[in-house]
Structure formats: structure tokens, C-alpha cells
Structure 1
């Protein structure tokens, strides 16, 4: 993945967007630190549809017997 400084990204924004549309995202840096990523809209849509691991767990049809008891002494959550 290409990295480009913010001032250079401003100067070549059209090229940065063209590359992102072709499937090559670009990391925008400011003072050497990553600040943003430019990626194509199709890739953003694909990524935005992927559920988080937490959402997948919350949606799982679990019964109380499906989860083993905790072994570390912390309180157990009732299902």
C-alpha cells in the first residue's frame, strides 16, 4: 500500500483517487504518522458490510450450556 504525505496528496488528489479506484489504496500521512486511507468506493462498500466479531458473537444463537464457566475467578455472566 502506497504512503503519501498530505501535502503531496493534495497536489495529486486526482491521481490518488484514480489509484484507489483501481484497487490500490493509499495511506495519507501527516508529519510521518498515518492519518487516513483513501480507497475506492467499491472496496469501502465491501468492507462496510463485514460484521464485527462482536456483532457475530452477539447474533449467535447460544444456550446457557454452550458457554463453559470462566476459570479466572471473574464473575460469570448469565445468558
Structure 2
């Protein structure tokens, strides 16, 4: 991923956007630190819609016979 300083990004914003649309995101540096990322809207949308772990489990294509049985064990005592 390309790193570019803010002043250069301001001068070349249309180039950065074109590159992001082509799948080449850029990191914008400010005061020597990474401050922002320019990436395509499609990539941002893909990254922002990550499912929760629970939804991934529910959507898993498992058959009831494939899920292992839970091992019953006595509850442990905990002191508070």
C-alpha cells in the first residue's frame, strides 16, 4: 500500500481516487504518522459489513449429526 503525505494527497486527490477505484488504496500521512486510508467505496462497503461471530455460526452449513455432543460435567464451585 502506498504512503503519501497529506500535502501531496491534497494536490493529487483525483489520482488517489482513481487508484483506489482500481484496487490500489493509499495511506495518507500527517506529521509523520498514518492518519487515513483512501480506498474504493466497494472495498469500504465490503469491510464494513463483517458479520458477527454468532451470525457466522448460525449461517454455517452444518447438519445436526455433524455437531459434537456436549460433554456433561458437574458445575464447579466458585468463591466470591
TM-score bracket relative to the smaller structure = 0.5 to 0.7
Aligned residues: 62
1:33, CA displacement in angstroms? 0.2
Gap regions ≥5 residues in structure 1:
67-72
For the aligned residue pairs, the C-alpha RMSD in angstroms reads 2.6
1:59: Cα distance to partner? 7.5
Correspondence list, 1:24-43, <5 A: 24-43=24-43
Unaligned runs of 5+ in 2: 59-69, 72-77
Rounded Cα–Cα distance in structure 2 between residues aligned with 1:41 and 1:9: 18
TM-score by length of 1: 0.66
**Aligned twin of 1:44:** 44
**Could you tell me which residue of structure 2 aligns to residue 69 of structure 1?**
none
What's the TM-score once normalised by structure 2's chain length? 0.66
Helix, strand or coil at the partner of 2:35 = strand
Q: Which protein shows a greater Rg?
A: 2
**Map of 1:70 onto structure 2:** none
After superposition, give the CA deviation of every residue in 1:7-65 in whole Å (9 maximum; x if it has no partner).
Answer: 000000000000000000000000110000000011111111113xxx3158757xxx6
Post-superposition, which runs of at least 4 consecutive aligned residues in structure 1 deviate over 4 A?
Answer: 57-61
